[in-house]
Amino acid sequence: MKKSIFAILLCMMLLVSCLPAAQIEPPHETTAASEQSTSVPETTDLQTTDIPYTQTTVSPETTAIPTTETTAEPQTTAEPILETTIAPQTTDVPMPLDLANTIFLTFDDGPCRGKTEEVLRILDEYDICATFFTVGRYVNLYPDLVHQIADGGHLLGCHSYSHDYKQIYASVEAFTTDIARWENAVRGVIGELPEARVYRFPGGTTNTLLVDNDLYPAFLTALSDAGYRPYDWVLATNDLYLGDKREDQTMEEYFFATLNYTLALANRYPNLPRVMLVHDTSADTVAALPAVLDYLIEKGYSFATLDKLDMSYIFRPTE
């Protein structure tokens, strides 16, 4: 059990090296291992379990998780200056997000023909907006899906152009060039970049090509300089990692086992942003999505896109 618990956020990345460096065809489902996974313990007794190796950027008014380091400085959004003419104008100020009861639903690796459309249909049915961490070459392949994402009020995030780890992490220049290619792809489809720029490292920040990479702090600096906030995740379903699935479990049961475990861990820390990782390249995710949404709604959660969050969340802080 301790081994699985320690792996909850770190070992999910260690499977990166098992994946091919780049995909030539459009994204497909994975039935073996993914670079993004969350180990599920054999028991659900969480009372004596510590969240292992988690670092997060927290806003000044929050309390850091024990044994948790924070990045150098939180990203915040300043209140706009309101100009008035004759009389002061009243403006409704949005209420602060209740982090303990808000899910930031994120989809990785798409867009994907045949699956992203269905995900968008389901989200529209539930009136939920999500963040789509897209891969630039699939942006070029499926511009109509990118339009559907943007037109539906969802947030387009950068998940690289190539998804080729060795290429992306070879140098700072390679890293920034990859992001620029993603930006060019998005501009070519919708004419502009999203106002809010969010980034997810392919493989997450603990993937094997970043763990011992001396360039990692420079990558974070390059993201900040380009106006991006990086995000890993807190909640997951292991929809592309079946290594912990028991033979007697259905896919949906396995998804819920992982989700409930990560929810239980996160719920011990009310100021932890509930960033949830799933993939719009997985047919199993599409099939289970309505049940997952019903379950979270029944538990009282609401949903928001990452541009509504004024903090980053990553596993590894700057050194």
With CA atoms as reference, report the closest residue to 220 among 179, 186, 278, 279.
179
Q: Is residue 315 part of a domain?
A: no
Tens digits of pLDDT across the chain (319 residues)? 433 433 444 434 333 333 333 333 444 444 334 455 665 544 333 333 333 333 333 232 222 222 233 223 223 223 332 222 333 333 444 557 899 999 999 999 999 999 999 999 999 999 999 999 999 999 999 999 999 999 999 999 999 999 999 999 999 999 999 999 999 999 999 999 999 999 999 999 999 999 999 999 999 999 999 999 999 999 999 999 989 999 999 999 999 999 999 999 999 998 999 999 999 999 999 999 999 999 999 999 999 999 999 999 999 876 5
Residue 124 in any domain: the answer is: yes
Range of 280's domain? 2-19+49-61+69-76+96-308
Contacts of 6-9 with CB under 8 Å at 24 or more apart are 6/52, 6/53, 7/39, 7/52, 8/38, 8/39, 8/51, 8/52, 8/261, 8/262, 8/265, 9/38, 9/51, 9/52, 9/53, 9/54, 9/206, 9/232, 9/315
Is residue 84 in some structural domain?
A: no
In a domain, 314, yes or no: no
CATH at 249: 3.20.20.370
Q: Which residue has the tokens 């609401």?
A: 302
Residue 316 belongs to a domain: no
User: Is 219 within the bounds of a domain?
Assistant: yes
What does the pLDDT read at residue 70?
A: 29
Does residue 37 belong to any structural domain of this protein?
no
Q: Is residue 317 part of a domain?
A: no
Q: What is the pLDDT of residue 154?
A: 98
pLDDT of residue 36: 59
Q: How many DSSP H helices and E strands does the chain contain?
A: 10, 8
Give the count of domains, the chain. Answer: 1
* Upper half-sphere CA count for residue 162 (Cβ side, 13 Å): 16
Instruction: Identify the pLDDT of residue 317.
Output: 74
Report residue 164 CA to chain centroid gap: 18
